[in-house]
Amino acid sequence: MEQEYIILLQKILVVLFSVTLFWKIIKHICGLLVIEKEPVTVLVTGAAGQIGYALLPMIARGVMLGPDQPVIIHMLDIEPAAEALNGVKMELIDAAFPLLKDVVATTDVVEACQGVNIAVMVGGFPRKEGMKRKDVMSKNVSIYKAQASALEQHAAPDCKVLVVANPANTNALILKEFAPSIPEKNITCLTRLDHNRALGQISEKLNVHVSDVWNVIIWGNHSSTQYPDINHATVKTTNGEKSVRDAIANDNCREGPPLSKLASYRVHCQLQVLLVIIYVIGFLEHPREHGCPWECTLMGHMEFSLALCTPSQLHVRKDNGQLLMGSR
Protein backbone atom coordinates (compact mmCIF):
# COMPACT_ATOMS: atom_id res chain seq x y z
CA MET A 1 0.00 0.00 0.00
CA GLU A 2 2.82 2.34 0.93
CA GLN A 3 4.56 1.56 -2.34
CA GLU A 4 1.40 2.51 -4.29
CA TYR A 5 1.35 5.92 -2.57
CA ILE A 6 4.99 6.46 -3.48
CA ILE A 7 4.31 5.57 -7.12
CA LEU A 8 1.27 7.90 -7.16
CA LEU A 9 3.33 10.72 -5.67
CA GLN A 10 6.03 10.17 -8.26
CA LYS A 11 3.46 10.36 -11.06
CA ILE A 12 2.05 13.61 -9.64
CA LEU A 13 5.52 15.12 -9.44
CA VAL A 14 6.26 14.06 -13.02
CA VAL A 15 3.01 15.64 -14.22
CA LEU A 16 3.72 18.89 -12.35
CA PHE A 17 7.24 19.02 -13.71
CA SER A 18 5.99 18.35 -17.25
CA VAL A 19 3.32 21.08 -17.00
CA THR A 20 5.84 23.59 -15.62
CA LEU A 21 8.37 22.77 -18.31
CA PHE A 22 5.73 22.97 -21.03
CA TRP A 23 4.55 26.37 -19.74
CA LYS A 24 8.10 27.75 -19.72
CA ILE A 25 8.69 26.51 -23.26
CA ILE A 26 5.44 28.14 -24.45
CA LYS A 27 6.37 31.44 -22.76
CA HIS A 28 9.80 31.37 -24.36
CA ILE A 29 8.36 30.69 -27.82
CA CYS A 30 5.78 33.47 -27.39
CA GLY A 31 8.56 35.82 -26.32
CA LEU A 32 10.47 35.04 -29.50
CA LEU A 33 7.38 35.63 -31.64
CA VAL A 34 6.51 39.01 -30.10
CA ILE A 35 7.84 41.78 -32.31
CA GLU A 36 8.39 45.11 -30.60
CA LYS A 37 6.39 47.94 -32.07
CA GLU A 38 8.09 50.66 -34.04
CA PRO A 39 8.69 53.74 -31.86
CA VAL A 40 6.24 56.63 -32.19
CA THR A 41 7.88 60.05 -32.34
CA VAL A 42 6.09 62.53 -30.09
CA LEU A 43 6.80 66.25 -30.23
CA VAL A 44 6.02 68.41 -27.21
CA THR A 45 6.45 72.15 -27.70
CA GLY A 46 6.90 74.39 -24.68
CA ALA A 47 8.50 71.33 -23.12
CA ALA A 48 10.36 73.23 -20.40
CA GLY A 49 7.13 74.73 -19.05
CA GLN A 50 5.10 73.36 -16.17
CA ILE A 51 2.60 71.40 -18.26
CA GLY A 52 5.30 70.04 -20.56
CA TYR A 53 7.46 69.06 -17.60
CA ALA A 54 4.59 67.12 -16.03
CA LEU A 55 3.42 65.61 -19.32
CA LEU A 56 6.73 64.23 -20.59
CA PRO A 57 7.31 61.51 -17.94
CA MET A 58 3.78 60.21 -18.52
CA ILE A 59 4.43 59.92 -22.25
CA ALA A 60 7.73 58.17 -21.57
CA ARG A 61 6.07 55.80 -19.09
CA GLY A 62 3.43 54.67 -21.57
CA VAL A 63 0.46 56.35 -19.88
CA MET A 64 -0.49 58.11 -23.10
CA LEU A 65 0.06 55.53 -25.84
CA GLY A 66 0.05 52.27 -23.93
CA PRO A 67 2.44 50.03 -21.98
CA ASP A 68 3.82 48.32 -25.10
CA GLN A 69 4.39 51.36 -27.34
CA PRO A 70 8.01 52.60 -27.53
CA VAL A 71 8.40 56.35 -27.97
CA ILE A 72 10.94 58.86 -29.17
CA ILE A 73 10.37 62.24 -27.56
CA HIS A 74 11.23 65.52 -29.28
CA MET A 75 11.19 68.53 -26.96
CA LEU A 76 11.03 72.07 -28.34
CA ASP A 77 11.26 75.37 -26.49
CA ILE A 78 12.59 78.88 -26.97
CA GLU A 79 16.28 79.78 -26.69
CA PRO A 80 16.04 81.34 -23.19
CA ALA A 81 14.66 78.02 -21.92
CA ALA A 82 17.45 75.91 -23.46
CA GLU A 83 19.17 75.19 -20.14
CA ALA A 84 15.93 74.14 -18.48
CA LEU A 85 15.09 72.04 -21.54
CA ASN A 86 18.37 70.13 -21.27
CA GLY A 87 17.64 69.63 -17.59
CA VAL A 88 14.31 68.01 -18.45
CA LYS A 89 16.10 65.78 -20.96
CA MET A 90 18.59 64.64 -18.31
CA GLU A 91 15.76 63.82 -15.92
CA LEU A 92 14.05 61.67 -18.56
CA ILE A 93 17.28 59.82 -19.28
CA ASP A 94 18.00 59.33 -15.57
CA ALA A 95 14.55 57.82 -15.08
CA ALA A 96 15.47 54.99 -17.49
CA PHE A 97 11.97 54.47 -18.86
CA PRO A 98 11.94 51.14 -20.75
CA LEU A 99 9.69 52.53 -23.50
CA LEU A 100 11.77 55.67 -24.08
CA LYS A 101 14.08 54.98 -27.02
CA ASP A 102 15.50 58.46 -27.53
CA VAL A 103 15.12 62.07 -26.41
CA VAL A 104 15.83 65.15 -28.51
CA ALA A 105 15.94 68.54 -26.78
CA THR A 106 16.23 71.46 -29.16
CA THR A 107 15.37 75.09 -29.82
CA ASP A 108 15.43 74.45 -33.58
CA VAL A 109 11.89 73.95 -34.87
CA VAL A 110 13.05 72.03 -37.96
CA GLU A 111 15.04 69.53 -35.92
CA ALA A 112 12.13 69.15 -33.50
CA CYS A 113 9.63 68.32 -36.26
CA GLN A 114 11.69 65.65 -38.04
CA GLY A 115 9.61 62.48 -38.48
CA VAL A 116 7.04 63.48 -35.86
CA ASN A 117 3.97 61.21 -35.59
CA ILE A 118 2.19 63.12 -32.83
CA ALA A 119 2.62 66.80 -32.00
CA VAL A 120 1.36 68.19 -28.69
CA MET A 121 1.49 71.97 -29.04
CA VAL A 122 1.78 73.17 -25.46
CA GLY A 123 3.96 76.18 -26.24
CA GLY A 124 2.47 79.55 -27.06
CA PHE A 125 2.69 83.20 -26.11
CA PRO A 126 0.84 83.67 -22.79
CA ARG A 127 -1.52 86.54 -22.24
CA LYS A 128 0.10 88.98 -19.83
CA GLU A 129 -1.60 91.55 -17.64
CA GLY A 130 -2.87 94.45 -19.67
CA MET A 131 -2.59 92.66 -23.01
CA LYS A 132 -5.53 92.50 -25.36
CA ARG A 133 -6.48 89.18 -26.92
CA LYS A 134 -5.65 90.46 -30.40
CA ASP A 135 -2.09 91.16 -29.21
CA VAL A 136 -1.78 87.58 -27.94
CA MET A 137 -3.13 86.25 -31.24
CA SER A 138 -0.64 88.35 -33.18
CA LYS A 139 2.25 86.86 -31.20
CA ASN A 140 0.92 83.33 -31.64
CA VAL A 141 0.49 83.72 -35.40
CA SER A 142 4.25 83.96 -35.89
CA ILE A 143 4.90 81.08 -33.48
CA TYR A 144 2.38 78.71 -35.04
CA LYS A 145 3.21 79.73 -38.59
CA ALA A 146 6.83 78.66 -38.07
CA GLN A 147 5.91 75.43 -36.29
CA ALA A 148 3.20 74.54 -38.81
CA SER A 149 5.56 75.11 -41.73
CA ALA A 150 8.13 72.83 -40.10
CA LEU A 151 5.52 70.12 -39.48
CA GLU A 152 4.33 70.49 -43.06
CA GLN A 153 7.81 69.83 -44.43
CA HIS A 154 9.32 67.41 -41.93
CA ALA A 155 6.62 65.55 -39.95
CA ALA A 156 5.26 62.12 -40.85
CA PRO A 157 2.41 62.19 -43.42
CA ASP A 158 -0.10 60.84 -40.88
CA CYS A 159 0.97 63.25 -38.13
CA LYS A 160 -1.70 64.00 -35.52
CA VAL A 161 -1.67 67.41 -33.85
CA LEU A 162 -3.20 68.48 -30.55
CA VAL A 163 -3.16 72.22 -29.83
CA VAL A 164 -3.14 73.10 -26.14
CA ALA A 165 -1.99 76.72 -25.93
CA ASN A 166 -4.72 79.36 -25.89
CA PRO A 167 -6.37 80.67 -27.94
CA ALA A 168 -6.49 76.99 -28.88
CA ASN A 169 -9.08 77.27 -31.65
CA THR A 170 -7.29 80.10 -33.44
CA ASN A 171 -3.90 78.46 -32.99
CA ALA A 172 -5.29 75.26 -34.51
CA LEU A 173 -6.65 77.22 -37.45
CA ILE A 174 -3.28 78.93 -38.01
CA LEU A 175 -1.57 75.56 -37.92
CA LYS A 176 -4.03 74.14 -40.42
CA GLU A 177 -3.50 77.07 -42.80
CA PHE A 178 0.28 76.69 -42.83
CA ALA A 179 0.35 72.88 -42.81
CA PRO A 180 -2.19 72.08 -45.56
CA SER A 181 -0.88 68.56 -46.17
CA ILE A 182 -1.83 67.46 -42.65
CA PRO A 183 -5.41 66.16 -42.88
CA GLU A 184 -7.91 68.42 -41.13
CA LYS A 185 -9.25 65.44 -39.22
CA ASN A 186 -5.80 65.06 -37.63
CA ILE A 187 -5.79 68.55 -36.10
CA THR A 188 -7.62 69.02 -32.81
CA CYS A 189 -7.50 71.40 -29.86
CA LEU A 190 -8.41 71.22 -26.20
CA THR A 191 -11.69 72.64 -24.96
CA ARG A 192 -12.43 70.39 -22.02
CA LEU A 193 -11.59 72.94 -19.34
CA ASP A 194 -14.29 75.38 -20.46
CA HIS A 195 -16.64 72.47 -21.12
CA ASN A 196 -16.21 71.24 -17.55
CA ARG A 197 -16.86 74.74 -16.23
CA ALA A 198 -20.15 74.82 -18.13
CA LEU A 199 -21.08 71.38 -16.79
CA GLY A 200 -20.27 72.51 -13.27
CA GLN A 201 -22.44 75.61 -13.48
CA ILE A 202 -25.38 73.73 -15.01
CA SER A 203 -25.18 70.99 -12.37
CA GLU A 204 -25.01 73.64 -9.64
CA LYS A 205 -28.01 75.44 -11.10
CA LEU A 206 -30.05 72.22 -11.26
CA ASN A 207 -28.71 70.83 -7.98
CA VAL A 208 -27.57 67.56 -9.58
CA HIS A 209 -24.24 65.80 -9.77
CA VAL A 210 -22.06 66.92 -12.66
CA SER A 211 -21.95 63.36 -14.04
CA ASP A 212 -25.72 63.58 -14.60
CA VAL A 213 -25.37 66.40 -17.17
CA TRP A 214 -24.72 65.22 -20.73
CA ASN A 215 -24.01 66.63 -24.19
CA VAL A 216 -23.14 70.25 -23.43
CA ILE A 217 -21.24 71.86 -26.32
CA ILE A 218 -18.89 74.85 -26.17
CA TRP A 219 -18.60 77.16 -29.18
CA GLY A 220 -15.79 79.62 -29.77
CA ASN A 221 -12.47 80.54 -28.21
CA HIS A 222 -11.67 80.85 -24.53
CA SER A 223 -13.01 84.41 -24.26
CA SER A 224 -16.03 86.52 -23.32
CA THR A 225 -17.66 85.53 -26.64
CA GLN A 226 -17.54 81.83 -25.86
CA TYR A 227 -21.00 80.25 -26.00
CA PRO A 228 -22.07 77.18 -24.00
CA ASP A 229 -24.72 75.43 -26.13
CA ILE A 230 -27.37 73.42 -24.25
CA ASN A 231 -29.62 72.69 -27.22
CA HIS A 232 -28.72 69.00 -27.09
CA ALA A 233 -27.91 68.83 -23.38
CA THR A 234 -29.78 66.42 -21.13
CA VAL A 235 -29.88 65.89 -17.39
CA LYS A 236 -30.67 62.80 -15.36
CA THR A 237 -33.39 63.48 -12.79
CA THR A 238 -35.48 61.42 -10.40
CA ASN A 239 -38.19 61.44 -13.09
CA GLY A 240 -35.83 60.19 -15.78
CA GLU A 241 -33.75 61.93 -18.40
CA LYS A 242 -34.92 65.32 -19.64
CA SER A 243 -33.71 68.29 -21.65
CA VAL A 244 -31.61 70.85 -19.79
CA ARG A 245 -33.69 73.54 -21.50
CA ASP A 246 -36.82 72.10 -19.92
CA ALA A 247 -35.12 71.70 -16.57
CA ILE A 248 -33.98 75.31 -16.35
CA ALA A 249 -36.86 77.74 -15.92
CA ASN A 250 -34.86 80.96 -16.19
CA ASP A 251 -35.04 82.28 -19.76
CA ASN A 252 -31.72 84.11 -19.50
CA CYS A 253 -29.98 80.99 -18.37
CA ARG A 254 -31.68 78.99 -21.10
CA GLU A 255 -29.94 81.07 -23.73
CA GLY A 256 -26.61 79.98 -22.28
CA PRO A 257 -25.08 79.55 -18.83
CA PRO A 258 -23.41 82.66 -17.38
CA LEU A 259 -20.85 83.52 -20.01
CA SER A 260 -19.08 86.16 -17.97
CA LYS A 261 -18.52 83.62 -15.24
CA LEU A 262 -17.17 81.12 -17.73
CA ALA A 263 -14.72 83.61 -19.14
CA SER A 264 -13.64 85.19 -15.87
CA TYR A 265 -11.85 82.22 -14.33
CA ARG A 266 -8.17 83.11 -14.01
CA VAL A 267 -6.84 80.02 -12.29
CA HIS A 268 -5.68 77.42 -14.81
CA CYS A 269 -6.37 73.85 -13.72
CA GLN A 270 -3.07 72.50 -14.99
CA LEU A 271 -3.54 68.98 -13.69
CA GLN A 272 -6.91 68.77 -15.41
CA VAL A 273 -5.43 70.06 -18.66
CA LEU A 274 -2.61 67.55 -18.38
CA LEU A 275 -4.97 64.62 -17.89
CA VAL A 276 -7.06 65.76 -20.84
CA ILE A 277 -3.99 65.89 -23.08
CA ILE A 278 -3.21 62.30 -22.20
CA TYR A 279 -6.84 61.24 -22.61
CA VAL A 280 -7.29 62.91 -25.98
CA ILE A 281 -4.09 61.55 -27.52
CA GLY A 282 -4.79 58.08 -26.15
CA PHE A 283 -8.35 58.44 -27.41
CA LEU A 284 -7.15 59.32 -30.92
CA GLU A 285 -4.68 56.44 -31.00
CA HIS A 286 -6.66 53.75 -29.21
CA PRO A 287 -10.48 53.66 -29.46
CA ARG A 288 -12.15 53.02 -26.14
CA GLU A 289 -15.62 51.82 -25.32
CA HIS A 290 -17.84 54.19 -23.35
CA GLY A 291 -21.25 53.73 -21.84
CA CYS A 292 -22.78 56.28 -24.19
CA PRO A 293 -21.81 56.24 -27.89
CA TRP A 294 -21.46 60.02 -28.08
CA GLU A 295 -20.66 61.30 -24.61
CA CYS A 296 -16.95 60.60 -24.77
CA THR A 297 -14.89 63.76 -24.83
CA LEU A 298 -14.90 67.29 -26.09
CA MET A 299 -12.31 68.77 -28.43
CA GLY A 300 -12.04 71.35 -31.14
CA HIS A 301 -12.05 69.91 -34.62
CA MET A 302 -11.67 71.33 -38.12
CA GLU A 303 -14.41 69.42 -39.90
CA PHE A 304 -17.12 71.39 -38.07
CA SER A 305 -16.40 75.11 -38.50
CA LEU A 306 -18.04 78.29 -37.31
CA ALA A 307 -18.76 81.25 -39.55
CA LEU A 308 -15.60 82.88 -38.20
CA CYS A 309 -13.58 79.87 -39.33
CA THR A 310 -12.51 78.72 -35.89
CA PRO A 311 -12.63 74.98 -35.18
CA SER A 312 -15.80 74.14 -33.31
CA GLN A 313 -16.01 71.86 -30.31
CA LEU A 314 -18.21 68.81 -30.53
CA HIS A 315 -18.45 65.53 -28.74
CA VAL A 316 -16.18 63.08 -30.44
CA ARG A 317 -15.59 59.37 -30.56
CA LYS A 318 -13.45 57.19 -32.76
CA ASP A 319 -14.74 54.31 -34.86
CA ASN A 320 -12.54 52.21 -37.17
CA GLY A 321 -9.82 54.83 -37.06
CA GLN A 322 -12.12 57.73 -37.95
CA LEU A 323 -13.37 60.55 -35.75
CA LEU A 324 -17.14 60.71 -35.53
CA MET A 325 -19.07 63.65 -34.12
CA GLY A 326 -22.57 64.42 -33.05
CA SER A 327 -24.93 64.32 -30.13
CA ARG A 328 -26.60 61.38 -28.50
- CA 17 – CA 69 distance, rounded (Å): 35
DSSP letter for 165, please.
S
Integer Cα distance of 76 and 138 in angstroms: 21
**Residues with catalytic function:** 222
Residue 240 sits at φ, ψ, to 5 deg, of 105, -175
Asked whether the beta carbons of 65 and 282 are under 8 A apart, the reply is: yes
Which stretches within the chain are classed as H helix? 2-33, 50-61, 82-95, 109-113, 133-154, 168-178, 192-206, 244-247, 251-254, 259-264, 270-285
- Specify the amino acid at residue 181: S
Nearest to 170 by CA among 243, 222, 132: 222
Neighbours of 110 (CB within 10 A): 12
| CB contact at 8 A, 171 and 161 | no
Q: Which residues contact 122 (CB under 8 A, 6 or more apart)?
A: 44, 45, 46, 47, 49, 51, 52, 55, 164, 165, 277
Sign of dihedral through CA atoms 257, 202, 271, 110?
A: negative
